[in-house]
Structures are given as structure tokens and as C-alpha cells.
């Protein structure tokens, strides 16, 4: 028996498993792919908040060393500049998913997370004390909790009886990496069918192709013949496509799980599907994983009640809803229809207004997410900025305090003037000084706090403004009852 089984070894599943292992939870991944290598490049990177999260665990440098920072937050056809956002990472990181997964695999291997490959979850039964997981082929496993990080067609979500409401596809596209025998036009093309693109890959031999189909394609896996036909319908030639590394079909179908939890079963990236417009897919899943990981770890370790897991849905479902609405809006404008063109021109004009640009870019980047933790200081519920502070051990970044994935009570007042008290075994108190200003993306400058309680996911759970009022309530709410 293990404490948590994660079904699915993509970026979301690996990030969640890493979070749990940092909290000393016995976790294992079950992944249906027989080998760790991902065929093809797949998705193309992530935005600022995701990079910040990786920084909180001390692994952002691994991705930055291989990726390319670009100003590539788009809405429709307009690039939104985020270089003036108050973050250490005011950019998008261009890095293909196969490299992202390879780096994450290295990280979880260092943490000792076992990955059982070539195995697929066929079903499960849960009771008051755990979950019996049945693998294809009849092999049983037992765990305290099961997390479905097995994608939009999730076996886990379906078996849990979680509704998946949303909107059906209005169009489909093929994405592939192939060799070609003819010269191809580089760049993006938008016409009355949809959006199309051809791009020569780094190896100088393979071309990445994205082409919208004239008719919605079937649920079956697409073939090279399907790709050739779609290209001929748009470009009047198939460019002699051959030797595909991979071919896949995606649609603009948009759905979100009605509940992110059913008893001892929780939804990871099985919680939503959406068009790739805006490039929020990997980031959304990683943010879900980091929100869930520390909560699930505390419940498994017995320091917090099972009801803490309900806050996963309460916080991430609204955040997911906002992101999915954005991808739908993006997807609509990726078509050269005169009426849609008029809408796109209007939106482009509006986004030239600085306040509008910041608001939309804040959503795309993930930097504007605020969980409803009550009224008070603007920091409450938002991600903690990452200033350089001075501690007894010398200067360091606040993000470095979060590397162990443990909560931090950061005291910026007189040393020793505040502490975690009976929660000291779970919450680290750090005395520090900081003389700079405080600024939040989209919001702007905010007043300096005297102390902040930072959750392991980097969000602020309590702000002290000269008193300790509400601190014990916040400690108990998020980190369980006091001991001793």
C-alpha cells in the first residue's frame, strides 16, 4: 500500500508527486506510456507564474537553462507586453513539452518518486479508509488517496462519477512534426477556416505543422493521410509530408469538472480541457498540482483534517473557469471572418490601453490569481512577491524560503516579535528586513506589511499590519489544530 497514487505522469502528475514527496508522503505514479520519452515536442512553454512556482522549489534554473525567454503573451493576434510586471520573470518561457517532462523526470527521480510505466488504471473502488485501484490486466493497488492526472479523457474522473460540463467542439486542428519534400511558407496564416502554421524545428529537418480542418475530425487517432488532406484543402499542396514523428488532433472543446474531488479521489489535469490558445495548459495544471500537493500532504500526515481538501475545489475551480473563458475568447478570434475581424480589431484597440493590457496579461500570466481568503490587505490570497530580504543567515530571496515546500511566517518587524507558537513544528518563522517598495501585478503599489504567513504554494494566508489579530485563526485553518 502507498499513501497516494497519481494516475498520469505528465507535467501535472509529476509536479504533484514531487510536492508530495517533499512533504515525505509515500507517493507513486502510474503512467500508461511504456517509456519516459515523449514523442514529439507537444506544448511550447509556460508563463510567469509557473516559472515563479518552479523558482519556489529551487528548480526554475533547470528550465531557464534550456528555454528561451520571449515576450509572447498573446490575446488574439496581439502580443501583450509583460516586461513591466513586478516579477523576477516578466516573460514567457519557450520550451517544448518533451524537454519540460525530461527535466521534471530528473527532479522527481532525485526525490525518489517511483514511476510505474506501461500500466493503466482500469477502475477503482473507494471506502472510508482508502481506495482500491485496479490496473489493466488485473493487478490491484491500495492507497489512501487517488489523483487523476490522466488528461481530458480521464478514466479516473469518469469512474468517480464527476460531471464534465462545458461546450462541444466547433472546429478541430491537426498538429504534427514531419519531414517535407517541398519548400514551406514559414509563419502563421489565418483564414476563414481557422489558424494554420508551419515552422522549421531546431534540427533543420523536421517541420512542425498546425492546420485547422475544414470539418471537425473524428475522435480516432489521425493519420498522415488526414494531415495531407487537411494541408491540401488549405494550401493546395501537402508539401510532400512524410516520416511523421507524431500527429495529434485537438479541438476547441471546453469542459471543466463540476467537482475537483469525490471522496478520496481528486482531479488533477483531468479537471479541464480547452483549446491551446494562449498557451495556458501546462501552467494551469502545475498551479493545480501545487495548490493540492501541500494540502493533501497535511491530510495524509495527520496534521490537518480531511476537510482541508475541499479548499482545492474552492480555490482552483474559479481560477480554472477564468482561464477556460479566456481560451474560448482567444479561440473565437483565430478565424478570418469579417465579423470576427471587426471584433478582433476592437479588442486590439482596447488592449492598447495600458490598464486593459495589464488586466488581460495578468490573467494569461497567472500573476493576478487571488484566492478568496477574506477581506484585508491586498496581499491576502495573492501570490507572495519575491523580494530580496536580509535574514540572520544573510540576504536571500523569499522564494528560497519555500524550497522545502513548507509554510513560512515571515516577520518584517522587530526580531522575535512574532512566532508560530504551537504550530512551530509545522510553520517556520523567519525574522527579516526589507527596505524596498511593495507592488503587485495589475494592482500596483501596496502598503508594506509587518508580517506575512506564506502557504507552501506561495500564496499569502495572513497579513500582519502591526497586530497579531487573526494569525492563530489562519494557522489553524491552513495547518491544522494547535498541538501541546
CATH code assigned at 138: 3.50.50.60
Are 340 and 270 found together in one domain? yes
Q: What is the pLDDT of residue 75?
A: 82
Q: What is the pLDDT of residue 13?
A: 98
Residue 398: strand, helix, or coil: helix
Are 279 and 186 found together in one domain? no
In a domain, 370, yes or no: no
Q: What is the pLDDT of residue 72?
A: 67
d(CA 151, CA 130) in angstroms, rounded, equals 23
Q: What is the pLDDT of residue 483?
A: 82
In a domain, 324, yes or no: yes
Q: What is the pLDDT of residue 338?
A: 86
Q: What is the pLDDT of residue 420?
A: 97
In a domain, 469, yes or no: yes
Are 108 and 57 found together in one domain? yes
In a domain, 125, yes or no: yes
Are 412 and 470 found together in one domain? yes
d(CA 280, CA 92) in angstroms, rounded, equals 11
Are 269 and 133 found together in one domain? yes
In a domain, 288, yes or no: yes
In a domain, 206, yes or no: yes
Are 241 and 298 found together in one domain? no
Residue 292: strand, helix, or coil: helix
In a domain, 178, yes or no: yes
182-190: average pLDDT: 90
Confidence of residue 330 (pLDDT cuts 50, 70, 90): confident
Q: For residue 383, what are the contacts with CB-CB under 8 A and spacing of at least 6? A: 49, 52, 367, 369, 458, 459, 460
Among the candidates 251, 282, 302, a domain finishes at 251
Are 327 and 407 found together in one domain? no
Are 360 and 266 found together in one domain? yes
Among the candidates 189, 218, 251, a domain finishes at 251
**Cell numbers representing residue 253 in the block:** 472543446
Q: What residues make up the domain containing 227?
A: 172-251
**Cell numbers representing residue 79 in the block:** 502580443
Among the candidates 251, 272, 296, a domain finishes at 251
Are 182 and 162 found together in one domain? no
How many CB atoms lie under 10 A from the CB of residue 66? Answer: 14
57-66: average pLDDT: 98
Are 80 and 176 found together in one domain? no
How many CB atoms lie under 10 A from the CB of residue 475? Answer: 23
- The residue among 111, 101, 122 whose CA lies nearest residue 25 is 111
CB 430 within 8 A of CB 409: yes
Are 422 and 342 found together in one domain? no
- The residue among 411, 397, 462 whose CA lies nearest residue 56 is 397
- The residue among 114, 65, 113, 119 whose CA lies nearest residue 93 is 65
The CATH number of the domain holding residue 219 is 3.30.70.2450
**Phi and psi (nearest 5°) for 265?**
-115, 130
Top-confidence range, 136-140, 173-177, 191-195: 173-177
Confidence of residue 327 (pLDDT cuts 50, 70, 90): very high
Confidence of residue 241 (pLDDT cuts 50, 70, 90): very high
Residues 115-159 pLDDT 10s: 999 999 999 999 999 999 999 888 899 999 999 999 999 999 999
**Cell numbers representing residue 286 in the block:** 502545475
d(CA 5, CA 88) in angstroms, rounded, equals 34
Whether the pLDDT of residue 332 is over 90: the answer is no
Whether the pLDDT of residue 40 is over 90: the answer is no
In a domain, 382, yes or no: no
Whether the pLDDT of residue 198 is over 70: the answer is yes
The CATH number of the domain holding residue 402 is 3.40.30.120
Whether the pLDDT of residue 76 is over 80: the answer is no
Instruction: State how many domains the chain has.
Output: 3
Are 90 and 223 found together in one domain? no
Amino acid at each position: 500500500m502507498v499513501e497516494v497514487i497519481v494516475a498520469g505522469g505528465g507535467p501535472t502528475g509529476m509536479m504533484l508527486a514531487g510536492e508530495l514527496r517533499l512533504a515525505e508522503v509515500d507517493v507513486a505514479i502510474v503512467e500508461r506510456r511504456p517509456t519516459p520519452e515523449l514523442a514529439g515536442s507537444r506544448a511550447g512553454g509556460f508563463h510567469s507564474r509557473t516559472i515563479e512556482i518552479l523558482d519556489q522549489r529551487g528548480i526554475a534554473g533547470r528550465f531557464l537553462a534550456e528555454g528561451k525567454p520571449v515576450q509572447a503573451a498573446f490575446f488574439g493576434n496581439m502580443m501583450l507586453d509583460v516586461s513591466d510586471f513586478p516579477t523576477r520573470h516578466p516573460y514567457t518561457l519557450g520550451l517544448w513539452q518533451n524537454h519540460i517532462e525530461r527535466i521534471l523526470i530528473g527532479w522527481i527521480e532525485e526525490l525518489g518518486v517511483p514511476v510505474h510505466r506501461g500500466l493503466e488504471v482500469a477502475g477503482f473502488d473507494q471506502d472510508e479508509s482508502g481506495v482500491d485501484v485496479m490496473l489493466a490486466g488485473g493487478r490491484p493497488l491500495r492507497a489512501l488517496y487517488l489523483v487523476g492526472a490522466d488528461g481530458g479523457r480521464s478514466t479516473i474522473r469518469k469512474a468517480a462519477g464527476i460531471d464534465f460540463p462545458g461546450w462541444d467542439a466547433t472546429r478541430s486542428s491537426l498538429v504534427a512534426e514531419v519531414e517535407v519534400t517541398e519548400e514551406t511558407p514559414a509563419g502563421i496564416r489565418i483564414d476563414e477556416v481557422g489558424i494554420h502554421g508551419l515552422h522549421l524545428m531546431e534540427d533543420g529537418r523536421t517541420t512542425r505543422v498546425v492546420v485547422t480542418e475544414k470539418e471537425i475530425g473524428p475522435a480516432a487517432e489521425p493519420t498522415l493521410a488526414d494531415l495531407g488532406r487537411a494541408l491540401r484543402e488549405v494550401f493546395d499542396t501537402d508539401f510532400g509530408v512524410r516520416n511523421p514523428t507524431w500527429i495529434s488532433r485537438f479541438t476547441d472543446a471546453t469542459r471543466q469538472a463540476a467537482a475537483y474531488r469525490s471522496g478520496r479521489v481528486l482531479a488533477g489535469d483531468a479537471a479541464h480541457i480547452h483549446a491551446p490558445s494562449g498557451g495556458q495548459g501546462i501552467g494551469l495544471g502545475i498551479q493545480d498540482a501545487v495548490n493540492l500537493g501541500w494540502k493533501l500532504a497535511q491530510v495524509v500526515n495527520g496534521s490537518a483534517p480531511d476537510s482541508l481538501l475541499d479548499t482545492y475545489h474552492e480555490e482552483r475551480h474559479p481560477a480554472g473557469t477564468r482561464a477556460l473563458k479566456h481560451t474560448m475568447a482567444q479561440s473565437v478570434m483565430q478565424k478570418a471572418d469579417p465579423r470576427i475581424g471587426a471584433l478582433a480589431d476592437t479588442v486590439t484597440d482596447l488592449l492598447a490601453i495600458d490598464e486593459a493590457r495589464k488586466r488581460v496579461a495578468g490573467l494569461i500570466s497567472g500573476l493576478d490569481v487571488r484566492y478568496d481568503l477574506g477581506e484585508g490587505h491586498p496581499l491576502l490570497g495573492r501570490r507572495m512577491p519575491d523580494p530580496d530580504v536580509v535574514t540572520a543567515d544573510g540576504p536571500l530571496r523569499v522564494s528560497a524560503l519555500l524550497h522545502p515546500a513548507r509554510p513560512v511566517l515571515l516577520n518584517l518587524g522587530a526580531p522575535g516579535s512574532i512566532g508560530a507558537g504551537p504550530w512551530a513544528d509545522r510553520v517556520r518563522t523567519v525574522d527579516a528586513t526589507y527596505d524596498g517598495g511593495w507592488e503587485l501585478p495589475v494592482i500596483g503599489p501596496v502598503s508594506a506589511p509587518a508580517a506575512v504567513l506564506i502557504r507552501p504554494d506561495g500564496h499569502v494566508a495572513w497579513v500582519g499590519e502591526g497586530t497579531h489579530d487573526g494569525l492563530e485563526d489562519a494557522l489553524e485553518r491552513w495547518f491544522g489544530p494547535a498541538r501541546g
